[in-house]
Structure 1
């Protein structure tokens, strides 16, 4: 697999300026980043410890409290209130349908529909009568009246056409012909002269504006564009390249310093953990194992077990005394009741048809007590 991998791209040779900038920057950044990385690792460890010991149990407690306060009451409300209410409402709706909708449908189907059809048939007959009256009576009368009105309108139109022809002839020779002559021989030459003068004036203004714009362009190029171009090319671009190079080196230095600071912080953390284990944990463990455990066993065997046995004996004696007191109280109540109300009668004997004494049934004989003479 290693032989199949493509070789890494060759790195460009770096000059002495790059090395001279990179080494001081990395040293300074490493000195600045190491405390920050150690503080960061300490905060990470503290945050994990806080999460595992405080936040996670607190979150579980809050989750349980949320369920107890919100989920379980709403579940009980849904299960024991809303669902039964919905079922009761559904039963009520079904009863309403059975009591109202079905009779209403029957009324519509067997009463209102035949009545509506009868009314529609009656209306159709009345409409046929009205159509016959319109076709045989009202239609011919209307057509005669329309012909009369059409004749009167034709006479009025002929009179109006004569008046319109006279007015049109007067308007043509009094207004249209003079206006056309004025437009052709006066207004058109004047408009053409004005248009030619406006075109000449526009050409002159265009030449002046073009010349002024060219002069301003040359002036602005010499005064602003060429100096700005020289400033960009010979000052800002090299400064920007150097700034980009410096920022890239600072970023690489921060990454390199962060990784080295992580290793240093890990080594310091392991050293502090080992120191804490050998200075605190191991002595505490040794004291617990060699001192506290034997002392605890001795206290358990010499003190706690006898005390526990005595407590159990006292509890046993107390229970027996309480049982005796209960029996005595029960007997006293029975004697007091017997003294007040007398002895209760014995229940009468009931013949259960079971043989007694020697006449009971045995496995060795074929007869029974019930079949004996």
Structure 2
């Protein structure tokens, strides 16, 4: 193929690429080409179904049904939820509200406002002034002395019932009892609690000094010795081993794997990808050519023969059948007319003008049926 004669991209990839490219091309053509053919057939079938079935079905069936359903739902919604409330608001609530407002304004203007002005001017104002005068006089000459006397009585009762008993209880009962309890608490603290507390502190100091401190120091010395002579050497050895494993094992293996991955990508995956892309485009071209060839073969093997058969066989045969049918039908009509004349006699002869315009007969008595344009005459 001409594509194989081109120099490889990137200045040449070597013999390894040439050895790998040929099997990859063969596999790509054997695998990708059928997949592309099937894909093109599915795409063509889907487009044809959408163009000739789904599109007209949606345009002529589904869309009118959806529009009719939307109009029906909108009309039902208006009938159930809009128009009743609009009619209620427009023809019931608004007139009733306007009537109530007019009635309220008339009642206020003609009844309540005059009554309020009359009551305020001639009843409530004089009554308020009289009550204010009585209140000032009663407060000065009656309520003030009475309030002073009641206040003195309440103060005396409060002192007698709520102050002096509590003062006496505190002075002669609670204060002596409190002082005695305080003296007993001081004695108990000096001669009981303080010696017990000092003994407990001495015991705690002795336990710390002669037991806990030596044990803690021994535990600390043991931990320091274990860290210095066991854990630190083991940790240093583990770190050295990890560094050695990384330096002499993991790093060379990682570098080798990186080189292997780069070489695999550069000399295997990239050429294989380019070959697959090329095979996909070639498969597309081959599929398009096959599709055009199939269309041409279908047009030649099916379309043209069918058109020729329809034009040169079926159409003349249809015309011949139509001529035979019309001739037979005319003969049958003539035979029925002859039988009718033989049995019932000849009917009265109509004028040629009226006979020619009779709707019951196809032709006049003296007119022959017009010749049909037959196939040979049309071809000639």
CA distance in 2: counterparts of 1:153 and 1:266, whole angstroms: 117
| Cα separation, partners in 2 of 1:88 and 1:172, compared to 1, 3 Å | same
Unaligned runs of 5+ in 2: 1-8, 109-146, 331-355, 363-380
Partner of 1:195: 216
Counterpart check, 1:182 vs 2:203:
yes
Return the TM-score normalized by structure 1: 0.57
Among candidates 290, 304, 310, match of residue 268 of structure 1: 290
Counterpart check, 1:247 vs 2:269:
yes
CA distance in 2: counterparts of 1:160 and 1:26, whole angstroms: 111
Secondary structure (helix, strand or coil) at the match of 1:313 reads coil
Cα deviation code 1:44-94 (max 9, x no counterpart): 1111111112222344434444555x5344323212233244346768888
CA distance in 1: counterparts of 2:260 and 2:181, whole angstroms: 95
Unaligned runs of 5+ in 1: 1-10, 107-128, 317-373
Return the TM-score normalized by structure 2: 0.56
| Matched ranges for 1:344-363 at <5 A | none
Partner of 1:325: none
Partner of 2:70: 71
CA distance in 2: counterparts of 1:201 and 1:136, whole angstroms: 85
| Cα separation, partners in 2 of 1:166 and 1:275, compared to 1, 3 Å | same
Secondary structure (helix, strand or coil) at the match of 2:30 reads helix
Partner of 1:257: 279
Residues paired across the two proteins, number: 272
Among candidates 133, 151, 162, match of residue 183 of structure 2: 162
CA distance in 2: counterparts of 1:92 and 1:315, whole angstroms: 71
Among candidates 2, 11, 14, match of residue 12 of structure 2: 14
Partner of 1:29: 28
The alignment yields a C-alpha RMSD, in angstroms, of 4.6
CA distance in 1: counterparts of 2:28 and 2:230, whole angstroms: 64
Secondary structure (helix, strand or coil) at the match of 1:13 reads coil
Partner of 1:341: none
Kindly state the Cα deviation for residue 42 of structure 1 after the two structures are TM-superposed: 1.3
| Cα separation, partners in 2 of 1:262 and 1:243, compared to 1, 3 Å | same
Name whichever of 144-153 and 268-277 sits farther off. 144-153
CA distance in 2: counterparts of 1:314 and 1:155, whole angstroms: 149
Cα deviation code 1:83-138 (max 9, x no counterpart): 24434676888879x99xx99xx9xxxxxxxxxxxxxxxxxxxxxx9xx8799446
